[in-house]
Amino acid sequence: MLDMEPIEEIADRLDAHRAEAAEQMTPGERILAGPALFDIGVMMMRAGIRMDHPQADDQEVEQMVVERLREARRLEAIL
């Protein structure tokens, strides 16, 4: 039987690894990381939309992305 680590321990190790990686980045790398992570998030959003709406063309997918980003901005403003 496999020895399964508790999820919390795994999450803590991942957080520590991310913090260590961030500390090793130069200021320039940190500045570029934000937009790069945003781009990755948008790509994942597009993939999810395409899975949920396989009939949607590229223009419809982009419109749904814009709508979701607007909704996210609206919700951030509330909080």
For residue range 23-58, list pLDDT tens digits in order: 999 999 999 999 999 999 999 999 999 999 999 999
How far is Cα 73 from Cα 54, in angstroms, rounded to an integer? 26
What are the sequence ranges of the domains in the chain? Answer: 28-79
pTM of this structure: 0.69
- Torsion 63-69-72-73 (CA) sign: negative
How far is Cα 56 from Cα 47, in angstroms, rounded to an integer? 12
Rg (CA), the chain: 18
How far is Cα 33 from Cα 55, in angstroms, rounded to an integer? 33
Report whether 69 contacts 46 (CB < 8 A): no
